[in-house]
Structure 1
Amino acid sequence: MFGLFKSDPAKKLRKEYNAKLEAAMKAQRNGDIRTYSMLTQEADALWRELEPLEKAGR
């Protein structure tokens, strides 16, 4: 009954992951390759956290 009010950690991580990828894409389009690589690396770290959560949830 109270599980209804619990937040889904995978959903939060997915949102952060998508935001990092979008920011990285914008940096790449603006020619800022250093920021692009930094954001891509951060997104990769988020993906490593997210992947097991999504596999467990399915």
Structure 2
Amino acid sequence: MFGLFKKKTELEKLQENYKSLLEKAHKASQSNRTLGDKLMAEAEEVAKKIDSLKNQ
């Protein structure tokens, strides 16, 4: 109840984005391998940002 209006941190936003990209990449790789690889590359960039935030 009290967390209803809590804003998400940058780390939480990046983690959701990473999860979403992985799901899209998996679905896309079944029909379009090139698109799946592109989405995986984007997910890896987000993962690097997550790691840099965790290491600060």
Q: Is TM-score (shorter-chain normalized) higher than 0.5? A: yes
User: Shift in Å at residue 7 of structure 1?
Assistant: 3.5
Q: Which residue in 2 is equivalent to 1:37?
A: 37
Paired-residue identity, %: 25
Count residues in correspondence: 51
Q: Indicate the residue corresponding to 1:51 in structure 2.
A: 51
Tell me which amino acid in the other structure corresponds to 1:26.
K
Q: Tell me how far apart the structure 2 counterparts of residues 40 and 28 of structure 1 sit (CA, whole Å).
A: 10
1:20-44 residue CA offsets vs partner (Å, 9 max, x unmatched)? 0000000012x20010010000000
TM-score by length of 2: 0.78
Unaligned 5+ runs, structure 2: 1-5
Secondary structure of the corresponding residue to residue 47 of structure 2: helix
* Secondary structure of residue in 2 paired with 1:47: helix
Give the helix-richer structure, 1 or 2.
Answer: 1
Distance 1:6 1:22 in 2: 24
